Amino acid sequence: MLGAIIGDIVGSRFEFHNKKTKDFKLFNQYSHFTDDTVLTVATMDALLNKKPFDVTYKEWFRKYPDAGYGSKFISWGLSDGFKPYNSFGNGSAMRVSPVGFYYDSEEDVLKMAQESAKVTHNHPEGIKGAQATALAIFLARKGATKEKIKEEIEKRFNYHLDEPLDSIRTWYRFDVSCQGSVPQAIRAFLESEDFEDAIRNAISIGGDSDTIACITGGIAEAYYGSISEDLKMEAYKRLDSDMINTIESFYNLLNGAK
């Protein structure tokens, strides 16, 4: 959702220039959306208009072909077929946040997170990363405490979420796998004090900064319940009208009757 998109935009300029500190300017002239945003909006579009995930991901990829996708996704997006490619990359987790906001039962969230992942990321770890992210968002928006969210994610997915960020920062490096980035993104949320602090935590560990902050941002939005207008405006300034229209329509749907 918008929290995920803000995380992506803030993290975009740090992906290959990691900053192992929380002290940085959130936006500058180089901040931009990446494939994380494109495919998050695509997930909204699929849910809004009851379209297949694979068809919708290809549509949005072809609208924005230069947004920084992985090589395997590019090959899939350009192909005429829809066969998944057994990925366990964090692309399945970065695009799943709308699922956690849209559905009203754990069963539906887990099922549809799997559906959204498996069209490309049908490796068990790719599915697991999407499900863990979506479930954390669902639990957060339903009022679960951070302790409960941590307990549920650890129990269901065998992620280890005890290591503090101060420790993670000392060794963490670029890792685009679900298993090597989703737990760290969740930990960044767990240590946060508010939405902005969550984004700063995510960036501060380094690694695949835009995607880690995207995952963290989706959970933080669900938990804290609001994002400042200043942050929203900074994000909207960097998005195209078709993205904004889809985002606004999705929020309107959530705030009304599905």
The domain ranges of the chain are 1-257
Report CA-CA distances (Å) from 70 to 66, 77, 130, 175: 11, 10, 17, 13
Q: Is 211 part of any known ligand binding site?
A: yes
Query: Both tokens of residue 255?
Result: 């705030």
What is the pTM (predicted TM-score) of this model? 0.97
Q: Is 194 part of any known ligand binding site?
A: no
Count Cβ atoms below 10 Å from residue 245 Cβ, excluding itself. Answer: 13
CATH number for region 1-257: 1.10.4080.10
Q: Is 210 part of any known ligand binding site?
A: yes
Query: Both tokens of residue 127?
Result: 């599915």
- Nearest Cα residue to 173 out of 136, 200, 212: 212
Q: Is 36 part of any known ligand binding site?
A: yes
pLDDT in tens, 153-211: 999 999 999 999 999 999 999 999 999 999 999 999 999 999 999 999 999 999 999 99
pLDDT in tens, 229-256: 999 999 999 999 999 999 999 999 999 8
pLDDT in tens, 197-222: 999 999 999 999 999 999 999 999 99
Mean pLDDT of the chain: 97
